Structure 1
Amino acid sequence: MELKESFDEALLMASRLHRGQMRKGTAVPYLAHLLGVAAIALEYGANEETAIAALLHDAVEDQGGETTLREIEGKFGKEVGRIVLDCTDSSFPKPPWKERKLRHLALVAEAPFSSQLVVAADKLHNARSLVADYRVLGERLWSRFKASGDETLWYYHGMISVLRKAPRPLVEELERTVIQLEALRLDT
């Protein structure tokens, strides 16, 4: 599949929206995560609309809410907007962490293939980063986040169980990565 100009426009939009944003507790530009999620989604069969949504999957949650959603839908269509919204786990004001995650698990369980593909790609990219960072920081890693290590692993296992429409090899890779993170925690 050849990516067209709309993908280029989405890349520019993602770069503009997330400029200056870094991954939690690091000096890594947030755009690196968005590119990683889009790459994983494409590797597992995303079409261009889904790849665009992968680039923009955190835009509504992190950068402007409803206004950003309307901009995305205006430029890339309702389908891209729907996928991005399915990837969004919070509203304003943000509910407590566990309540927010339980709601998101229920939403993802009912989401269509395209949304589950992007969610799975996002979780895999995040889990890979957690494994790499845990090797350096150990349990100090969790101080970056609202959730503890146990809570984070609970959420990942919950997500694995609801991703029934996503590509099975992608979900299996996510599960292997989460198991690897658990094994690292047991070794310390």
Structure 2
Amino acid sequence: MTPRFTQAITLASRAHEGQLRKGTSIPYITHPVVVAGLVAQYGGDEDQQIAALLHDVLEDGGPQYAEPIEAQFGPRVLALVQACTDGVPDAQGQKLPWTERKRAYLAHLKTASDDALLVSGCDKLSNARAILDDLVTIGPAVFDRFTAKLEGAVWYYEALSRLFTERKAPMANALADTLQKIRRLVPPT
């Protein structure tokens, strides 16, 4: 790795400072670090790993981070981050409704570049594994922390899994396996 990777961790840490993983006491920065590790594991290059570190910066930190991302890491990294962003807050800090954002993101992923698909898929794999871990620990109540609750979350991750499988994304089998484990622990809806 080059110093760019360390710079990306610094920028991501600043953008996510004080944020926690939804419904937990886990610092949010741990998630992008895990995603970058998965991107490396599945063959992603340094730009993709950097994009993984920054994949939620625009969404959670705001659109003002676009310029520093491009200035520090170049247009390819910014494009990858933008491709992994399902909604940027408006001036009042509001995003479009959850279902609308997720449907648009699924449509976007159908034609996203393979490079962006890898970063997005590793993000979703990390999230699904965290859900599975919490499901084992606290049970179906884990879904109470999500806007979409159990039914919406299961719908979204199953749609993502189908899409990544159809596009032959490198992490598709791992995501499908994780969802299969989740389905075994989730009561039928």
TM-score normalized with structure 2 length: 0.92
Alpha carbons of structure 1 residues 18 and 177: separation in structure 2 relative to 1, 3 Å:
same
Unaligned runs of 5+ in 1: none
C-alpha distance in 1 between matches for 2:61 and 2:168 = 26
- Between stretches 158-167 and 47-56, larger displacement belongs to 158-167
Amino acid of the structure 2 residue aligned with 1:82:
A
**Structural mapping, 1:3-152, within 5 Å:** 3-65=1-63, 67-91=64-88, 92=90, 93-152=94-153
Aligned length: 183
- Between stretches 83-92 and 26-35, larger displacement belongs to 83-92
- What residue number does 1:184 align with? 185
- Between stretches 33-42 and 82-91, larger displacement belongs to 82-91
C-alpha distance in 1 between matches for 2:36 and 2:159 = 23
Secondary structure of the equivalent of 1:186? coil
- Between stretches 132-141 and 117-126, larger displacement belongs to 132-141
Unaligned runs of 5+ in 2: none
Deviation at 1:167, TM superposition (A): 3.3
C-alpha distance in 2 between matches for 1:147 and 1:78 = 33
TM-score normalized with structure 1 length: 0.93
Per-residue CA deviations over 1:108-139 (Å, capped at 9, x if unaligned) read 11111111001110000000000110112212
CA contact (8 A) 2:84 2:116 kept: yes
Secondary structure of the equivalent of 1:20? coil
C-alpha distance in 2 between matches for 1:55 and 1:6 = 11
| More helix as a share of residues | 1
